[in-house]
Amino acid sequence: MSAARVSVVLYTAQGCGLCARAEALLRDRAGPLGYELGVVEIDGDAELERRYRIDLPVVEIDGSVQFTLIVPPSQLEGAILGAQARRGSPSS
């Protein structure tokens, strides 16, 4: 039985250009890197707005914030591979 795939969550908001770029990158890389992507729009949620608004986009990997504002592709790959190694799960 294989381990669960790494979980990546993107916190985003309407009208956020950096968020749109981050989401496109994360969707593009999900298959090749083998992670599950969830997208959470913070609009209208007071707690999420308080926690994340000034840092959008915010990317969590396995529950830990890894990136804010910019998601560098090479660092994303390293963070995903590191999470997979900690879980002992394959990359695909």
| Bond before 57 cis per omega within 30 degrees | yes
Does residue 92 lie in a domain region? no
Tell me the per-residue pLDDT of 25-74, one tens digit each, with 9 for 90 and over: 999 999 999 999 999 999 999 999 999 999 999 999 999 999 999 999 99
Does residue 64 lie in a domain region? yes
Q: Is the distance from CB of 57 to CB of 68 less than 8 angstroms?
A: yes
Q: Is 63 exposed, middle or buried (0-12, 13-18, 19+ CB in 10 A)?
A: exposed
CATH code: domain of residue 31: 3.40.30.10
Does residue 60 lie in a domain region? yes
Residue 57: predicted pLDDT:
98
Residue 27 to residues 49, 54, 55, Cα–Cα distance (Å):
23, 23, 20
Provide the domain limits for residue 62: 6-87
Does residue 49 lie in a domain region? yes
Does residue 33 lie in a domain region? yes
Query: How many structural domains comprise the chain?
Result: 1
Longest dimension (CA), the chain: 41
Tell me the per-residue pLDDT of 3-29, one tens digit each, with 9 for 90 and over: 578 999 999 999 999 999 999 999 999
Does residue 70 lie in a domain region? yes
Residue 70: predicted pLDDT:
96
Residue 90: predicted pLDDT:
54
Does residue 25 lie in a domain region? yes
